[in-house]
């Protein structure tokens, strides 16, 4: 996973460097989720996505 995070992060930086400030950046959540999904799929593990209703409920407490 560590190598996957590093390589995907470098790919992201190469594609988006013109839009980024010179700074330390946190990996975007979408990219982190993509890496996690690929790892779980490689292990034969499937997870479902939450519904719009569930997302709405989760946002209520914030």
pLDDT digits (tens, 9 = 90+) for 12-41: 999 999 999 999 988 899 999 999 999 999
Q: At what angle do helices 29-42 and 2-16 cross, to 10 degrees?
A: 140
- Is this prediction's pTM over 0.75? no
Domain of 49 in residue numbering reads as 2-60
SS (H, E, C) 1-62: CHHHHHHHHHHHHHHHHHHCCCCCCCCCHHHHHHHHHHHHHHCCCCCCCCCHHHHHHHHHCC
Return the closest-CA partner of residue 27 out of 61, 2, 54, 44.
Answer: 2
Query: What percent of the chain has pLDDT above 70?
Result: 98
Could you give the number of structural domains in the chain? 1
């Amino acid at each position: 996973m560590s190598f996957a995070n590093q390589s995907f992060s470098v790919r992201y930086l190469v594609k988006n460097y013109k839009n980024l400030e010179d700074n330390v950046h946190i990996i975007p959540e979408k990219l982190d989720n993509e890496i996690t999904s690929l790892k779980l799929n490689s292990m034969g593990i499937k997870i479902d996505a939450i519904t719009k209703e569930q997302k709405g409920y989760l946002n209520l407490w914030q």
